[in-house]
Amino acid sequence: MKKNSIIIIILQLVFFSCSGNIKDNSNNNIGMPFNEIEILKQLDLAFNQTPSEFYPQGQPEDIKYNFFLDLEHGYFETAGSRIHLFADSTRWAIVFEKSGYKNRGTSAEIELNYVGNCIEYPIDKYPERNYITNSGCVILIDPTEFERIENKEGADMEIFELIGQDIKEIKIRDKFVPFDNNYANYEKVGIEIRDYDNPKKLIGFGDLIRYLHETNPSLISATEDEIRKHIPKDIPKLMTIDKFHFVSAYETTNPPSQQETFKLIAKVLTTKDSINWKPTQKINNSWKNWESGNL
């Protein structure tokens, strides 16, 4: 499937993943020991956006989404990314975490995608059909707050997704935090301030989230409760991977089952031992290495 088509499909989920969810833990496929082959198969299914056998059966008219980590989404300006691993003798789960700014959507969010044999899949129920997905989100800065802090002076593009000079604090997760409006500090951590139609070098909405990731990552990272929202509360956590080698989600000829990163993850899950995380490939999951939020 072409990249633009994938983006359109993913956009359809935004409303559903951020609305109230009803859990359905109806699959009966857990209880047996698992192996690396099963894990890599499930990762390949998510990579190809194909729902797995672990999804609730649902009705013929229901729509099922199966998402994979995407650091190049055209409508999501990526900031941070992490991978969380959980497992016991019969259950396993991988939680992909990505933070950033949803450009054109005027919302800063954490996106969480779940792959495993014990996922409590979020379900949005409607009269005509249900929407079942492996994705959820956490709102960091909502559209109302972005509207408040957006620049109100200058030409059209000067008031588009730029923060006003007079803003001193910004509401993040329902708590006001100081706002650094010195563009030089952003440039020091590799953020390029928009130069066109921005004579005052105002900070962009996406710039803010990336700056927070570089200077105060815990502020825009998912909490353990948020990460565990759609997996069993008693499943042990093995590790969190902050730095890893990533391959484009649009490189369809190179699925997870062929990548070192996910082969190692499968080994960690099956052995339940983080000592087996021994990557040899270059770390590249920083937002600086991937173009995103460019549409």
Q: How far is CA 207 from the centre of its chain?
A: 17
Establish how many alpha carbons lie within 13 A of residue 116's alpha carbon, considering only the half-sphere containing its beta carbon: 31
Residue with tokens 């949803």: 102
Over the stretch 276-289, which tens digit does the pLDDT of each residue have? 999 999 999 999 99
Percent of the chain predicted with pLDDT > 90: 85
136 to each of 98, 99, 149, how far by Cα in Å? 11, 12, 26
If pLDDT is split at 50, 70 and 90, which confidence band does 155 have?
A: confident
Over the stretch 91-126, which tens digit does the pLDDT of each residue have? 999 999 999 999 989 999 999 999 999 999 999 999
Over the stretch 214-269, which tens digit does the pLDDT of each residue have? 999 999 999 999 999 999 999 999 999 999 999 999 999 999 999 999 999 999 99
Q: How many residues does this entry show for the chain? A: 295
Could you tell me if 245 and 261 are in contact, meaning their C-beta atoms sit under 8 angstroms apart? yes
So what's the pLDDT on residue 111? 99
So what's the pLDDT on residue 26? 45
Alpha-carbon gap, residue 262 to 39, rounded angstroms: 9
If pLDDT is split at 50, 70 and 90, which confidence band does 89 have?
A: very high
Over the stretch 59-85, which tens digit does the pLDDT of each residue have? 999 999 999 999 999 999 999 999 999
Over the stretch 182-192, which tens digit does the pLDDT of each residue have? 999 999 999 99
Question: What DSSP line would sit under 214-251, residue for residue?
Answer: HH-GGGGSPPHHHHGGGS-TTSPEEEEE-S-----TT-
* Nearest by Cα to 285 from 28, 17, 46, 81: 81
Q: Where are the alpha helices (DSSP H) in the chain?
A: 3-17, 36-47, 143-149, 183-188, 205-215, 224-227, 260-271
If pLDDT is split at 50, 70 and 90, which confidence band does 162 have?
A: very high
Which tokens go with 286? 């920083």
